Amino acid sequence: MTRQQLVDQIKQKKSFLCVGLDPDIDKIPEFLKQYPDPIFEFNKRIIDATKDLCVAYKPNSAFYEAYGVKGLQSLIATGKYIPKDCLSIIDAKRGDIGNTSDKYACAFFDESTSGMNFDAITVTPYMGNDSVTPYLKYDGKWVIILALTSSIGSKDFQYLPTEDGHLYETVIKKANTWAGADRLMYVVGATKSTEFTEIRKYAPDNFLLVPGVGAQGGSLQDVCQYGITKDCGLLVNSSRGIIYAGSGEDFADAARAEALKLQKEMQVELEKSGII
């Protein structure tokens, strides 16, 4: 999916919502366990209930890898089921040397070898350029680099002072020399909305993938005030807040209601900024 197609989707759906598909077999509704692949069945119903309200889906690989071969089969089936008009992001946070990153790129982008063909992958920056550039060999695919995360541990290294401000700012400044805003996005935790101003200095045009709105304490209004651009430039993710909104047979309706609430708030922000 190109940048223009993503922007068009945002305008059309009046939404910049990304739904995180992080299913846990102990948390999904009991009745789904009668199906041969309960995890996929769960995701399928979430996707059916939310696909007109969001522009991206983001399965986190860990939640599938935990279940071995069965989990990988659920992930592959989920990837194939994500509608083509939504950006499919594999949240894998990989990062390795060049020849190894080539293999990870096969794993997530080359359907002929792995069965998977996501549009974008999250990558951790610690190992530098050769942990990012191999993914860019695939035309039209995106790399989403961790910059500032919403985790407790983000304080340990991401805020270390550097000549650019902090480590996360140096990461963005450096990574922007590897590719443009049509191929690179950054993960920026929404619990630190005032820092969006600083981040926009280094990444004025890049899309930012923002976790942590809602349950984790970030405010959508703050994120938009400091982070929105003329092309929107934001994908705001919600995982648990949507997928576990309900726990009964009507869990997909409950998920839709939560997604709709966020979409409505997003519509207000898009209108306020003159994007729609």
Task: Give contact residues for a second copy (rule: CB under 8 A).
Answer: 22, 24, 60, 62-63, 65-69, 71-73, 76, 93-98, 100-101, 103-104, 106-107, 110, 113-116, 124-132, 146, 149-158, 160, 162, 167, 170-171, 174
Nearer of residues 19 and 275 to a second copy, judged by Cβ: 19
Nearer of residues 116 and 190 to a second copy, judged by Cβ: 116
In whole angstroms, the minimum distance from the beta carbon of 128 to a second copy comes to 2
In whole angstroms, the minimum distance from the beta carbon of 69 to a second copy comes to 6
3-state secondary structure 38-56: HHHHHHHHHHHHHCCCCCE
Nearer of residues 69 and 194 to a second copy, judged by Cβ: 69
* Token pair belonging to 95: 């990062």
* Contacts within 8 Å (CB) and 24+ apart, 112-118: 114/76, 115/76, 116/75, 116/76, 116/79, 116/90, 117/79, 118/79, 118/88, 118/89, 118/90
Residue 93 annotated in active site? yes
Nearer of residues 34 and 177 to a second copy, judged by Cβ: 177
Pick the closest to residue 4 from 128, 182, 185, 207 (CA basis): 182
In whole angstroms, the minimum distance from the beta carbon of 160 to a second copy comes to 6
In whole angstroms, the minimum distance from the beta carbon of 245 to a second copy comes to 18
In whole angstroms, the minimum distance from the beta carbon of 149 to a second copy comes to 5
Catalytic residue among 11, 70, 93, 261: 93
Q: CA 220, CA 238: separation in Å to the nearest integer?
A: 11
Nearer of residues 53 and 202 to a second copy, judged by Cβ: 202
Residues noted as catalytic: 93
